[in-house]
């Protein structure tokens, strides 16, 4: 198929064409032979081989190493408002299918997995929160964001506002300024407070979309929290890296005898304590502001055997291949300490949210930690992110969350 010639053309090298032909939507700077004059940063270009064979149409990013992000491989597509409305509707209908009625707090758009490269959209009850990490989506916002609000409103979703969390360093790689604030929508002129309340797994949380981490709350562990809660009944639980208390609260609601929640951030501990009080669970919960890497060895040295269920849900220890080795050492340290603290018959929940720590490597680390702790791991479940964060098999970057439940034997 020859080039459509609807847009300026980006000529792709043989190596780049082979990569794009394998299904990945990114074409790197080194694989772009040249771009025709008239192509604008963030605008659409037709990607073609040097002989003129059409590969797809995507956003040009002049500042990024990812030079072209394909949005379609269909030569018949017309990228008008109707096209983007269909794609938004497709993403929303998928969430309703895989989440059922559980869509009051969910990820509505997950970047490349939904055909919107560089865009994240989360719904927190009456607020939408977006993060834009590509020049193409930045340019498309005036068209896309009103469509997004309109599609949800047509489906009966009562929205109060759309908040942009563009305070991410990755934007600088696209030549985009950082910032955050309300996106102006004519039909939602006065959004009010950036704080809202969500209910997940029957637990209420206050979510501050302006100041919370990422977009305000981590939604990808929703069903993993519920799985952990099923093991918590009657147990003494230590929740490490608790953040705003989500795993700890699920464990307490699941009938834990007691839950100790630990985080290095005083503000996170304050939020977790407030969430516990909101849900009437504070009578069985304790909160410690401490560095987990310091606390676990201290508990081991003191001979503590106070916990029979430990949950490890750390932030990403690596965001690049270059730091994966040190990240693995960090993961092994906390898992080894946890395994030494747990009694035979105890339970461990452990996770990694880094794409650069693939499942095979993470599992090898866990085997090494178990060997060094002189215990055996009996796997209960191996889980991934919730289905509102779909994994696109031709885009490995969408497959990032690993979550395991074990019994120590």
* 2 band by pLDDT with thresholds 50, 70 and 90: low
* 182 and 283 within one domain: no
Domain end among 38, 72, 106: 72
What pLDDT does residue 315 have? 87
Q: Would you state the structure tokens that stand for residue 116, as one six-digit string?
A: 């919107």
Domain count, the chain: 3
- What would the mean pLDDT of 328-345 be, rounded to a whole number? 96
Query: What pLDDT digit, counting tens, does each position of 82-110 carry?
Result: 999 999 999 999 999 999 999 999 999 99
pLDDT at 303: 80
Residues 67 and 183 in one domain: no
The residues pairing with 195 across neighbouring beta strands, listed in sequence order, are 208
pLDDT band (50, 70, 90) for residue 355: confident
Residue 238 in domain: yes
Which one of 50, 72, 94 terminates a domain?
Answer: 72
pLDDT at 164: 98
Do 375 and 259 lie in one domain? The reply is: yes
Residues 29 and 174 in one domain: no
Q: Are residues 325 and 243 in the same domain?
A: yes
Whether 258 is in a domain gets the answer: yes
Structural contact between residues 381 and 227, judged by C-beta atoms closer than 8 angstroms: yes
User: What distance in Å separates the CA atoms of residue 215 and residue 228, rounded to the nearest whole number?
Assistant: 24
Residue 2, domain member (yes or no): no
Sheet with strand 377-383: strands edge to edge:
285-289, 258-263, 236-240, 309-312, 347-352, 402-408, 377-383
pLDDT in tens, 182-212: 999 998 888 999 999 999 999 999 999 999 8
User: Among 194, 212, 228, where does a domain finish?
Assistant: 194
Its domain, for residue 179, covers: 81-194
Q: In this structure, what CATH number is given to the domain that contains residue 269?
A: 3.40.50.150
Based on the domain organization, do 249 and 312 belong to the same domain?
Answer: yes
Residue 105 lies in a domain: yes
Q: Given this model, what pLDDT does residue 360 score?
A: 95
Task: Specify the 3-state DSSP secondary structure of 83.
Answer: helix
Which of 1-15, 30-44, 61-75, 236-250 is predicted with the least confidence, judged by mean pLDDT?
1-15
Return the closest-CA partner of residue 333 out of 358, 314, 306, 357.
314
Residue 203 and residue 282 in contact, taking contact as beta carbons nearer than 8 Å:
no
Residues 68 and 86 in one domain: no
- The pLDDT of residue 169 is above 80: yes
pLDDT grade for 3, boundaries at 50, 70 and 90: low
One domain for residues 236 and 380: yes
Do 332 and 393 lie in a common domain?
Answer: yes
pLDDT cut 70: percent of the chain above it: 99
Query: Is 171 a domain residue?
Result: yes
pLDDT value at position 187? 85
Helix (H, G, I), strand (E, B) or coil at 244: coil
Q: Confidence class of residue 255 from pLDDT cuts 50, 70 and 90? A: very high
Same domain, 371 and 396: yes
CATH code, domain carrying 146 = 3.30.750.80
Lowest mean per-residue pLDDT among 24-38, 106-120, 131-145, 319-333: 319-333
Statement to judge: residues 97 and 140 lie in one domain: yes
Q: State the first-to-last Cα distance of the chain, in angstroms, to the nearest integer.
A: 59
Rounded distance between C-alpha atoms, residue 119 and residue 147, angstroms: 14
- Whole-number Å distance between alpha carbons of 159 and 157: 6
Distance in angstroms (rounded) separating the CA atoms of residues 363 and 113: 25
List 105, 106, 240, 353, catalytic entry: 353
In a domain, 295, yes or no: yes
pLDDT at 320: 74
pLDDT band, very low/low/confident/very high, at 317 (cuts 50, 70, 90): confident
In a domain, 200, yes or no: no
Reply yes or no on whether 289 is catalytic.
Answer: no
Q: What's the rounded mean pLDDT across residues 221-229?
A: 98
Residues 295 and 327 in one domain: yes
pTM of structure = 0.94
Mean pLDDT of the chain: 95
Is position 168 within any domain?
Answer: yes
């Amino acid at each position: 198929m020859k080039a459509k010639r609807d847009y300026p053309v980006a000529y792709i090298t043989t190596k780049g064409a082979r990569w794009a032909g394998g299904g990945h939507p990114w074409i790197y700077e080194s694989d772009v032979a040249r771009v025709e004059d008239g192509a604008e940063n963030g605008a659409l270009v037709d990607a073609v081989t040097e002989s003129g064979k059409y590969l797809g149409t995507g956003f040009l990013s002049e500042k990024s190493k990812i030079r072209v992000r394909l949005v379609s491989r269909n030569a018949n597509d017309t990228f008008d408002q109707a096209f983007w409305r269909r794609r938004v509707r497709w993403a929303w209908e998928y969430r309703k299918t895989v989440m059922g009625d559980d869509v009051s707090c969910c990820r509505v758009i997950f970047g490349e997995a939904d055909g919107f490269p560089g865009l994240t959209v989360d719904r927190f009850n009456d607020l939408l929160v977006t993060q834009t990490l590509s020049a193409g989506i930045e340019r498309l916002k005036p068209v896309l964001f009103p469509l997004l609000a309109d599609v949800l409103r047509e489906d009966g979703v009562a929205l109060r506002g759309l908040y942009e969390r563009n305070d991410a360093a990755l934007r600088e790689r696209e030549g985009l300024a950082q910032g955050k604030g309300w996106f102006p929508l004519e039909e939602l002129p006065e959004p009010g407070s950036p704080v809202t309340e969500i209910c997940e797994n029957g637990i209420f949380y206050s979510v501050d979309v302006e100041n919370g981490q990422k977009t305000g709350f981590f939604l990808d562990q929703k069903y993993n929290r519920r799985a952990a809660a099923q093991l918590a009944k009657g147990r003494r639980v230590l929740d490490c890296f608790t953040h705003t208390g989500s795993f700890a609260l699920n464990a307490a609601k699941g009938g834990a005898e007691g839950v100790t929640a630990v985080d290095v951030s005083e503000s996170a501990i304050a939020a977790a304590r407030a969430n516990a009080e909101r849900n009437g669970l504070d009578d069985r919960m304790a909160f410690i502001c401490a560095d987990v890497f310091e606390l676990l060895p201290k508990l081991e040295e003191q001979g503590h055997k106070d916990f029979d269920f430990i949950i490890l849900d750390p932030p990403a220890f690596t965001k690049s291949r270059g730091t994966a080795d040190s990240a693995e050492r960090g993961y092994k340290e906390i898992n080894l300490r946890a395994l030494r603290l747990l009694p035979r018959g105890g339970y461990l929940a452990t996770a990694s949210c880094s794409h650069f720590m693939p499942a095979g490597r993470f599992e090898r680390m866990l085997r090494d930690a178990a060997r060094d702790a002189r215990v055996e791991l009996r796997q209960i479940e191996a889980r991934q992110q919730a289905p509102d964060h779909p994994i696109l098999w031709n885009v490995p970057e969408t497959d990032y969350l690993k979550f395991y439940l074990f019994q120590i034997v």
